[in-house]
Structure 1
């Protein structure tokens, strides 16, 4: 009698289960790594072109000399700043331009925005485009254009002054008027940019507030001071801080318009930094100027945000 042995059936559940678990873990790892892979190009670009130059320039500010002659200098460059009369001249010029230009520009921008928002309703888009156009003009082109307009003998601005009976002004040859010429160029270039920002803020204010104020008998000035200005407080803070930072970093306009003259009357901190770095190749001192300017910008920005920012309730 022959007995036939039957092989036991093998349940193929353990191995596929392990493979499924391994596959799910691998998929989770890929999903977890995907955001980092997508961010990698931006992070590498930031590290190479932003973080590395910032750190390297900080280390450079503690050195002196150039090329193979570079050597450690400790805090010598920063001590030199305190005794450098030309640095203080550049800082004073920058401060004078800032004090005059920023309030003037922002006041004109706010008035322009209020006018476009309240009166010129049908042509609002056209006027908005018109006032914004100077902001897209190249800074070098703007400087060259105003250099011709402000010429003493045959400039269009002096011709206009003479037409109304006022004497001609030596815009680019007198220290005070050279700084005012820079103020004029900056105001023309950036007023429309800030006006468009204010216009966007004005359009976000509920009309019900103005209607309620008019019912209570509030006039235009009262409505402006009691409703418009408080409602625009965050926008005002943004433009004040941004304009202050931009003016402290002022370079293109005075460089093209006056070259820092006459007699360093329109020399700014950024221009002085450029001269030390790329004319005298004193990169350590130029880096120290850059970090002194960075500290100044940070302090002023913090003070402005403290004074104009929303108070905690």
Structure 2
């Protein structure tokens, strides 16, 4: 089973054996999983792997439950006390390994974040120093206050984006999937961005068929992705340019495209677009940003078993294509 499918599986705390183990911090042993009222069948349906007997233990480290370790379908006989004791030992080791990996990941993220904080903090330090100088004019004073305000807003956006990305990368974000109209969402995003487009004198329009099927996904998260792409398409466009949002469906997926007539992205920058804090050098003077937006979009799409693609030509424009499966991916039973 591929990693996107695994990441797309969400097991609820209520209504699942794993959830009961986490909540009660106790072991579960059952020889007939389907007869247990706590059994959560969605995982079996998605993976195609039938569950008969089950033994599960909580993963506990530093008095905190970090997960559940389950083994399924013992080859011979029933699960025994010896099996349970062995799994508890393995679970204790796994809990420590998971916690250590999480701490290492956090330390790497924090190091990157601190590095990105240096520039705005240096700007704020310089600005406050200049404000203390008695010889500055009223006009200079007002400009410095304006710069401080902008840098503060940028720091707030950077911190919020960083937290979003950290949660997504650690797998702590749960996607709440519903069925919804893609066209309704696209027009809603267009309405949100229309003011920004008008201000930049950018034409914003929708081109999608009316009979699109419903999409099963986390609506708020997909909206976040589309809004980010539209914001970039407007921000890096040319004067009197245009942005077209289009959508189409096949038997297996729905694709949503944000196409702009902007400056385009150099070919050597394309492989790095989804890296944390990466910004295209040629675009830095055009508009500001955190360098995290596309990384967040990529993580959201991966969490939906989807993809985010980019096509671009310098001087012509850029297209970002979201591809989402129409329903839960099913793997045939073996």
- Superposition TM-score, scaled by structure 2 size: 0.22
Indicate the structure (1 or 2) with the bigger Cα radius of gyration. 1
Greater RCO between the two (CA within 8 Å, min separation 6)?
1
Higher helix share: 1
- Superposition TM-score, scaled by structure 1 size: 0.23
